[in-house]
Structure 1
Amino acid sequence: MFSCACHIGSMDQSSSQIPIRRKTRAALSNASGRFDLAREAVDDGWYAEPEATSVVTEIREEVARSLISYNRSPDLPFDRSINPYRGCEHGCIYCFARPSHAYLGLSPGLDFETRLIARPNAPEVLRKELSARSYKVATLAIGTNTDPYQPCERDFGIMRACLEVLQEFNHPVAIVTKGTLVERDMDILADMATRGLVRVGVSVTTLDPDLSRRMEPRVPAPARRLATIRRLSAAGIPVRIMTSPLVPGLTDHELEALLAAGAEAGADAASWIMLRLPREVSALWQDWLREHEPDRAEKVMARLREMHGGRDYDPRWGQRMRGEGTYATLIAQRFKLACRRLGLSEKSPALRCDLFARPVQAGDQLALF
């Protein structure tokens, strides 16, 4: 359900399927999602320069009726998560969350990174759901679909307000982000860390700033993300460096260097996930490869298919994150050896759930003792 929309700029809907390089955007097309009507680009003669060099971000507000999403995936370390935003302006071309935009009738391509949805009432809904007598506490994950610290969070502040609710309830939370705006909330995170209630994962996919800018155009530079790890760690907040996704034939040679940089910055743990290409992501990724890395395109896709039984992607539990076969095994061994050498843990201690308590709210009956 949408409230009165809050628009920031507007979006050029022309050239929706024609591959065009747009400034600071990763997707080269805006093809229809699987639930949308087909789109066809038409030149009506009005545009003297059909190859627009930029696309402005549009943000709408959504009134959330529920917030906590539950999953039963056996290969995920959490069973619940929340998303303050739909879509992500960071625009990582490889993002496995892109297909989720299709459920909104929007394209997983440019729409995903330019037509965003904010959920300003998320903190109020979260408070209501945590206050329910039937609620059973477990670590809540944030950032597993779209980044809670993407640029629009600076204006909306939804993530910070949600953290304030979790802090009040003493609720454990695991955060994943590429955004340096997480530093703004170090006061809350440091306080929660003293009680074993929080862990932050910072994703660093490459140390090459040029490749990063092309592959994840609106994400802070790799060096800047490493600085964020350093600042969070110095504040006493446990931080994991996430070398994800690892791209075979493109970034895999950086694995040890990424882990070493994370350890030097103060990370105490590490993780990795192989590049995943579910649904519409595969075509978007291959378009990007042909445009930006044409000499490596065949090698990258051959490696991926080798790990997924000849397909671009294998969605089976236990296989989708890492793949299988000789190459996947080699990456896993390299990761394990590097972590052992650098003193990085592959599995972090469980966050505390025993401190969870519903705060007294207006209308509650006070206890006599």
Structure 2
Amino acid sequence: MDAVDDRPLIERRAVWRDGFYETQARTMIERVPREAGITQRWAVSPYRGCAHACLGCGARAGHRKLGLDTGRDFDTRVVVKANAVERLRAELGRWAGEPLAVGVTGDCYQRAEEVYRLMPGIIGALGEAAVPFTVYTKSPLVLRDAALLAQAGAQVAVSIAFVDERIRRAVEPGAVGAQARLELVSALVEAGVACRVLMSPVLPLLSDAADQLAATVRRIAATGAVGVEPVVLRLPPATRAWYLAWLGAAHPPLVARYEELYDRAGSPSADYEGRITGQIEQLCRLYGLRCGPPEPVARRPRFPQLALV
């Protein structure tokens, strides 16, 4: 009788190299999970898992399909789609041009990008195909590709949900601090890249006080960002267990209040979400920022139009 291979699925399909699971992707353009809270319906993600280790990351469920856990494994066992650029180019040849998000299942500028450098090829492929796209990141490494992003007409959404470093160290331990991200937004704007801030995730009872929201929007306004898109924390099942385990250890009295606030799917109550986004909208008006999802970007011509002489 043949021995049963009980290794996690990813270990049977990938090569462990330089601290990452290196695999060959079957497809690159994937549907965005509803719990991601972003406007695009489709995404391109060269990495799965994220060293930023954000407790509230809604992408954690993907690791369960690989036979890994959605907690520590998601933070430390990052999957690299080594053929991402070649696979994406093939799929873009038949893509209808709908806008794409880049970096949904893991930050596309996390440490793995320093090793694999997949993003310049991805930006180039999207730019050549004239597909509107938005890069989602917390990492200053994105500045390396600022010229490519500007040339491709990309948007960058930098996540800055709060400016309290105590909270950041607790819930986003692998990411750079808020000040570094604010400086990143300014640098991208100066480099000619359209940049907005994803104010996500606003954490109930931790980062949602009126003075906290005001301080965050005020400092975002000073960066030159084109707008703010607020998103209240989502807790889909795979994320909920990990986040609430931390909350129970760090802030035990809040667990019961979270249980009341969130439904079984992980969405906050509509009343609470409306109140928080309403406060942020008022603050944005005060500081002259556009609030809400970005305006639709028209698809650019794939080839320059010839001038009529």
Q: 1:88 to 1:301 in 2, by over 3 A?
A: farther
Please state if 1:60 is matched with 2:21: yes
TM-score (norm 1): 0.73
Q: 1:329 to 1:79 in 2, by over 3 A?
A: closer
* Count of aligned pairs: 290
Whether the aligned pair in 2 keeps the contact of 1:248 and 1:300 (CA below 8 Å) is: no
Q: Structure 2 unaligned segments of length 5 or more: list them.
A: 1-9, 305-309
Q: 1:300 to 1:241 in 2, by over 3 A?
A: farther
Q: 1:3 to 1:314 in 2, by over 3 A?
A: closer
TM-score (norm 2): 0.87
Please state if 1:332 is matched with 2:274: no
What does 1:68-83 correspond to in 2, within 5 Å? 68-70=29-31, 77-83=39-45
Residue 161 of structure 2 corresponds to: 205
Output the CA distance in 2 between the equivalents of 1:252 and 1:169.
40
Please state if 1:273 is matched with 2:231: yes
What is the CA-CA distance between 1:245 and the residue it aligns to? 0.6
Amino acid aligned to 1:188: L
Give the one of 77, 88, 104 matched to 2:50. 88
Amino acid aligned to 1:207: V
Whether the aligned pair in 1 keeps the contact of 2:248 and 2:254 (CA below 8 Å) is: no
Please state if 1:182 is matched with 2:142: yes
What is the CA-CA distance between 1:3 and the residue it aligns to? 6.4
Please state if 1:115 is matched with 2:77: yes
Output the CA distance in 1 between the equivalents of 2:274 and 2:33.
26
> Per the alignment, in what secondary structure is the counterpart of residue 270 of structure 2?
coil
Output the CA distance in 1 between the equivalents of 2:79 and 2:59.
14
Please state if 1:106 is matched with 2:68: yes
Whether the aligned pair in 1 keeps the contact of 2:131 and 2:300 (CA below 8 Å) is: no
Give the one of 229, 244, 254 matched to 1:299. 254
Amino acid aligned to 2:274: T
Residue 152 of structure 1 corresponds to: 112
Output the CA distance in 2 between the equivalents of 1:220 and 1:174.
20
Output the CA distance in 2 between the equivalents of 1:73 and 1:216.
22
Q: 1:299 to 1:190 in 2, by over 3 A?
A: same
Residue 314 of structure 1 corresponds to: 265
Structure with max Cα Rg: 1
> Per the alignment, in what secondary structure is the counterpart of residue 107 of structure 1?
coil
CA RMSD of superposed structures (Å): 2.3
Give the one of 178, 190, 194 matched to 1:238. 194
What is the CA-CA distance between 1:102 and the residue it aligns to? 0.2
- Encode CA deviations 1:207-242: one digit per residue, 9 max, x unaligned: 122321221111011110111000011112121112
Amino acid aligned to 1:277: L
Please state if 1:258 is matched with 2:219: no
Output the CA distance in 2 between the equivalents of 1:72 and 1:164.
25
Output the CA distance in 2 between the equivalents of 1:262 and 1:154.
27
What is the CA-CA distance between 1:341 and the residue it aligns to? 0.9
Output the CA distance in 2 between the equivalents of 1:357 and 1:129.
18
Q: Structure 1 unaligned segments of length 5 or more: list them.
A: 9-57, 359-369
Residue 15 of structure 2 corresponds to: 5
- Encode CA deviations 1:96-119: one digit per residue, 9 max, x unaligned: 111110000000011101111101
Amino acid aligned to 2:149: L
- Encode CA deviations 1:263-287: one digit per residue, 9 max, x unaligned: 1011111011111111132221122
What is the CA-CA distance between 1:169 and the residue it aligns to? 2.1
Output the CA distance in 2 between the equivalents of 1:4 and 1:102.
15
Amino acid aligned to 1:154: E
Output the CA distance in 1 between the equivalents of 2:115 and 2:186.
25
What is the CA-CA distance between 1:205 and the residue it aligns to? 2.6
Residue 242 of structure 2 corresponds to: 284
Residue 341 of structure 1 corresponds to: 286
Whether the aligned pair in 2 keeps the contact of 1:190 and 1:237 (CA below 8 Å) is: yes
Residue 352 of structure 1 corresponds to: 298
Whether the aligned pair in 2 keeps the contact of 1:143 and 1:177 (CA below 8 Å) is: yes
> Per the alignment, in what secondary structure is the counterpart of residue 265 of structure 1?
coil
Whether the aligned pair in 1 keeps the contact of 2:24 and 2:82 (CA below 8 Å) is: yes
Output the CA distance in 2 between the equivalents of 1:72 and 1:110.
21
Residue 33 of structure 1 corresponds to: none
Amino acid aligned to 2:265: D
What does 1:119-130 correspond to in 2, within 5 Å? 119-130=81-92
Give the one of 107, 115, 130 matched to 1:170. 130
Q: 1:314 to 1:323 in 2, by over 3 A?
A: farther
What is the CA-CA distance between 1:73 and the residue it aligns to? 5.4
- Encode CA deviations 1:331-352: one digit per residue, 9 max, x unaligned: 1221110111111112423222
Whether the aligned pair in 1 keeps the contact of 2:102 and 2:108 (CA below 8 Å) is: yes
